[in-house]
Amino acid sequence: MLRRNWFHVLAALAGGDLHGSAIADDVFARSEGSLRLWPATLYRALDELVEAGMVRELAGPERPDDPDRRKRYYRLTAEGREAVRSEAARMEEMARAVRTRLGGRA
């Protein structure tokens, strides 16, 4: 099971390479405003995800051509893609089980 912040960061990066504030914006929009990753929380999660091998920071020619060189861009690794895919499947299974218990369709 992934930490909540990790899941949302990985889900944002599943759509492609992003810089930190774009990740935060994606998470905020996708959660319909229920989750805001403040800079300290976001960059701590990104550092942990890099250390865990699920995300890597882009450098050199991999970086998008951005006039703001201070922006740090990130990319999902194969391990990160598998982790977010597995977590999404786990969440879907849990939701199916709850709907079944509530008498809804699975």
Express each pLDDT in 10-63 by its tens digit: 999 999 999 999 999 999 999 999 999 999 999 999 999 999 999 999 988 888
Neighbours of 86 (CB within 10 A): 12
Segment 98-105 shows an average pLDDT of 85
In a domain, 84, yes or no: yes
Total tally of structural domains belonging to the chain: 1
Query: How high is the pLDDT of residue 81?
Result: 98
Assess if residue 106 is contained within a domain.
no
Residue 66 above 80 pLDDT? Answer: no
Q: Which residue range is the domain that position 67 belongs to? A: 4-101
Contact 80, 18 (CB under 8 A): no
Where in the chain does DSSP place strands (E)?
A: 18-19, 55-57, 73-76
Domain for residue 57, yes or no? yes
pLDDT of 63 reads 85
Question: Mean pLDDT over residues 83-106, rounded?
Answer: 91
Q: What is the pTM of this model?
A: 0.90
Phi, psi angle pair for 67, to nearest 5°: -65, -25
85 inside domain: yes
The answer to whether residue 70 sits within a structural domain is yes
b vs e for 22-55, b when ≥16 Cβ sit within 10 Å of the residue's Cβ?
bbbebbbeeeeeeeebeeeebeebbeebeeeebb
Q: Which residues have C-beta within 8 Å of that of residue 42, sequence separation ≥ 6? A: 5, 9, 20, 23, 24
Residue 31 lies in a domain: yes
CATH value at residue 57: 1.10.10.10
Higher pLDDT, 51 or 70: 51
Model confidence pLDDT, tens digit, residues 71-92: 899 999 999 999 999 999 999 9
